Amino acid sequence: MEKPIIQEIIVVEGRDDTTALNRAVIADTIETGGSAINQKILEEIKHAKEKRGVIIFTDPDFPGEKIRKTIEAYVPGCKHAFIERKDALPKSGRGLGVEHASVEVIQNALLSYQTSGETANETLVPREKIIASGLLFGAGAKLRREKLGDFLRIGYTNGKQLEARLKMFGITETEFDEALQAVLQEEKNE
């Protein structure tokens, strides 16, 4: 299979991520150099978004989320690609990162990105619904949030981040309900 060509510039954390992307797709990258992202890199990302668009593709961990939030605060409206934590584990040893993901996982993530920004025409998910859905408290809440993030392609969130992430990606109440039903059905079948 030919490697897909990604028009947008992909923001990754480091050189190993760029190497992994080059195995999977044809794309240009900007490397943040880790979570200590500086003003020069932020300006480069801003310029890239204006010229070609940007897809933020960071590791599914705390530093990766910190980088994502820093960029989104400085350059709103970016596209976001996510991989599941289980797909970011190395075959042996320790660590978690995009560089460990398979070609197929990287391609799927980059071809099914989300764009931040609210949806104008549909209702967003009310806070009461999130609470009533068993995603914040109780047994299994963390696993449900993880699965919900995978279904909605918004990444893993903790309880505090969930509402903000749903809003950030303009997830409608209908989309939320469909994903939650899939999560609950999967939970029931386990």
Place of tokens 């809440």: 141
Beta bridge partners of 10: 29, 55
Q: Which amino acid is at 147?
A: K
3-class DSSP state of 71? helix
The pLDDT of residue 55: 95
Tokens for 130, please give them: 């999130």
Q: Count Cβ neighbours within 10 Å for each residue of 69-99 and write b for 16 or more, e otherwise.
A: ebbeeebeebbbbbbbbebbbeeeeeebbbb
The pLDDT of residue 166: 87
3-class DSSP state of 33? coil
User: Which residues of the chain fall short of a pLDDT of 50?
Assistant: 118-121
The pLDDT of residue 105: 92
Residue 170 contacts residue 119 (beta carbons within 8 Å): yes
The pLDDT of residue 119: 42
H/E element holding 79? strand 79-80
Tens of pLDDT, residues 107-140: 999 988 777 654 444 557 888 888 888 888 888 8
| Residues near 3 by beta carbon (within 8 Å), at least 6 away in sequence | 24, 25, 26
The pLDDT of residue 116: 66
The pLDDT of residue 1: 63
- What CATH number does the domain located at 9-115 have? 3.40.50.140
The pLDDT of residue 30: 96
Start-end ranges of CATH 3.40.50.140 in the chain? 9-115
Measuring CA to CA, which residue among 9, 3, 22 is closest to residue 98?
Answer: 22
